[in-house]
Amino acid sequence: MEDIGFIGLGIMGAPMAGHLAAAGHRLFVDGRHRVPADLLAGGARVCADGAAVARAAPTIITMVPDTPDVEAALFAPGGIAEGLTAGKLVIDMSSISPLATRAFARRVAALGCAYLDAPVSGGEVGAKAASLTIMAGGAEADFERARPLLARMGRTITRVGEVGDGQACKVANQIIVGLTIEAVAEGLLFAARAGADPARVREALMGGFAASRVLEVHGERMIGRRFAPGFRIELHQKDLDLALTSARTLGLALPNTASTQQLFSAAAALGGKGWDHSALVRVLEHMAGCALGGGAGEE
């Protein structure tokens, strides 16, 4: 069973690494950061730094918050690049800039190693259940090499194209999800203000062309006032910032993405950086002076 290096043992990374360990893979992790007790109990080997992780394993996975974090994990002193030797594979499962991803891949390729970007969708629930959607970019041979590992962590695994295309797909996913959350919030708030029961409106809409996973899950969250985070607003802000920054570089206008990002920023200003992204509805309620049920801000 192949040894795996894993950098980034946070809310999502820890259960993802746990699935690999449960499948029999020996894990090597960076001891400069907290290592969950269950991974240590399962036999994870603690290394001095990312370079030592890369020296110990033929495949190294990163799962960290943002583009600068990936760059640091790879190229900072004591980073993964210092421990790479020809033939190793780096899989970045973070959600970061597709343009930066291509630059990182070129630097890794210069060391004789392969690079795959494989961001995920599904949040903490999907990470724990090993049901993530994984969107990969890279050479087909590298994808096939990684597929058995990805299959331990996700359910729907797709090679979208070449390096960077997985990240482009993830950004597109976050644009669509964010804008759909905003649309669901507006629609349900309109129905409530017009005197209709938003729960019954949602039920009716689920049988028509407006049906979506966002209406199903996040519409129910909005009506039930359950905003404990599955995916935090501050993380969706980060992803839409990736979209808007990349769009400027590409000379592309994304007007509705920009307006939705402003609503997320308003939610953060109201103290909601840590709310679930479905709590975007609270901003619209605040602006309208009414709520879907109870008072705006009710849990």
Residues marked active site are found at: 170
| Strand partners for 92 | 62, 117
- Cα separations (Å) of 25 from 50, 55, 133, 239, 255? 18, 16, 21, 31, 45
Cα separation, 42 vs 101, in Å, equals: 32
Cα separation, 38 vs 44, in Å, equals: 9
- Cα separations (Å) of 188 from 62, 191, 194, 218, 256? 39, 5, 10, 11, 19
Q: Are strands 59-62 and 89-92 parallel, antiparallel or unpaired?
A: parallel
Phi, psi of 255 (to 5 degrees): -65, -40
Distance of CA 142 to the CA centre of its chain: 21
